Amino acid sequence: MRGNPWKTLYENADLIISHAGAGSCLEALENRRRLLVVINESLMDNHQIELACALKECNYLEYCYPQVCRNYIFKVLEKNLFRHSQNRLTRSRKQNLTILNREIRAR
């Protein structure tokens, strides 16, 4: 692979499986990829579940726990998740976070 191999993998992926960190979620949304986030239950203040729930309500992703991850993979591939149109997201990560924050609060 030439260039950035991570970017190439992202651009060609049908599905991204990730933890529910804000940066990881935003990267998948910016690249218009289906996203399955696996919640890390061992975190003390589990902000991952809060973010995952909010983004699921907006139909941006599906989330699960590690024990059932396998069951959710095909579900996400079949699901019609909303994908940001390219003109809505900007090149600025900060602006994109603001856009998502507004959409989450509007729900």
Domain range list for the chain = 5-106
| Domain boundaries 5-106, CATH class | alpha beta
**Whether 36 contacts 61, CB under 8 Å:** yes
Residues 12-48: pLDDT tens digits? 888 899 988 888 888 888 888 889 999 988 876 778 8
pLDDT tens-digit readout, 43-83: 767 788 888 998 888 888 999 999 998 888 888 887 776 65
Q: How many CA atoms lie within 13 A of 15 on its CB side?
A: 18
Which pTM value belongs to this model? 0.75
- In three-state form (DSSP H/G/I as H, E/B as E, the rest C), the secondary structure along the chain is CCCCHHHHHHHHCCEEEECCCHHHHHHHHHCCCEEEEECCCCCCCCHHHHHHHHHHHCCCCEEECHHHHHHHHHHHHHCCCCCCCCCCCCCCHHHHHHHHHHHHHHC
